[in-house]
């Protein structure tokens, strides 16, 4: 490459150094301008989903404004499943007749546990931590948990 063949003399060396420092500066300023603005998350992290006695087994409850579904399975275990498709982030919807979450964007489908039923998505939908205080179901909507697949240990019981 030409770049390396050129003779390095004092003049060149100083020129290159100044160029390098300047461009690093520009790069640094630019990237710090564009870096992720951390919005001070003073909001309530815990979203109140309702009274535990209102939820029936083997049912899915949508909380679309909070971007999750509450899935209560046969044995009473609960999962708060994120609506954000793990493929490219579209909002999945629960399809009653198919009994699955389906994504409109590239047709991924997930079971009611959030497990991939059909690709292109490669991992299960994220879940949010659930805690139950005085019979109230609370969901921490700021801490999505990534997971590969569904495991029984992810369930929360009353």
Partner 1 sequence: MNTAGHSKAFTKLLLHLHPKRVNAQSIKFTRTFGLGGISSLFFVILFASGMLLRFAYVPSVKGAYDSIVELQNEILFGQLLRNIHYWSGMGLVLVSFLHLIRVFYSQSIYHDRRKNWFYGLLLFFLVVFSNFTGYLLPWDQLSYWAVTIMANMLTVIPFVGDFLADMIRGSNEVSETTLLRFYHFHTGLLPLLMVAFMSVHFWLIRKSKGVTVANMENRETVPTSPHLLYKEMFVALIVIISLLVLSTLVNAPLQEKANPLISPNPSKAPWYFMGVQELLLHLHPIFAICVIPSAVIFFLIYTPYMKFSDLNVGVWFNSEKGKKLTIFSIIFGILFTLSITLFSEYWWNGTQLMPNVPSLISTGLLLALFYMIPASVFLYFLKIKYQASKIDLVMACFTIIMMAYLVMTIVGTFFRGEGMSLFV
Residues interacting with partner 1, by CB under 8 A?
A: 31, 34-37, 39, 64-65, 67, 87-91, 93, 102-107, 116, 118-120, 122
As measured in angstroms, the least distance from the Cβ of 28 to partner 1 is: 13
| Buried b / exposed e along 17-55 (16+ C-beta atoms within 10 A) | eeeeeeeeeeeeeeeeeeeeeeeeeeeeebbebeeeeeb
Q: Which is nearer to ligand FES, 47 or 150 (CB)?
A: 150
Q: Which does 43 bind (CB under 5 to 8 A by kind): ligand FES, partner 1, none?
A: none
Q: Compute the least distance from the CB of residue 91 to partner 1, in Å.
A: 5
Q: Which does 57 bind (CB under 5 to 8 A by kind): partner 1, ligand FES, none?
A: none
State the distance between the two ends of the chain, measured CA to CA, in whole angstroms: 68
CA–CA distance, 42 with 21 (Å, rounded to integer)? 39
Residues 6+ apart with CB under 8 A from 105: 85, 87, 88, 90
Residues that bind ligand FES (CB under 6 A): 85, 87-90, 103, 105-106, 108, 120-121
- Of 8 and 34, nearer to partner 1 (C-beta) is 34
């Amino acid at each position: 490459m030409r770049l390396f063949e050129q003779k390095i003399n004092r003049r060149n060396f100083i020129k290159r150094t100044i160029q390098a420092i300047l461009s690093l500066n520009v790069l640094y300023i630019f990237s710090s301008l564009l870096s992720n603005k951390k919005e001070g998350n003073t909001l309530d992290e815990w979203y109140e989903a309702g009274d535990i006695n209102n939820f029936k087994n083997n049912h899915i409850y949508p909380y679309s404004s909070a971007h999750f579904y509450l899935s209560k399975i046969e044995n009473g275990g609960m999962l708060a499943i994120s609506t954000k498709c793990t493929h490219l982030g579209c909002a999945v919807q629960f399809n009653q007749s198919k009994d699955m979450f389906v994504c409109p964007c590239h047709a991924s489908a997930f079971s009611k546990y959030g497990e991939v039923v059909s690709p292109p998505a490669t991992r299960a939908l994220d879940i949010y931590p659930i805690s139950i205080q005085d019979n109230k179901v609370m969901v921490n909507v700021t801490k999505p948990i990534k997971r590969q697949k569904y495991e029984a240990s992810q369930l929360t019981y009353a």
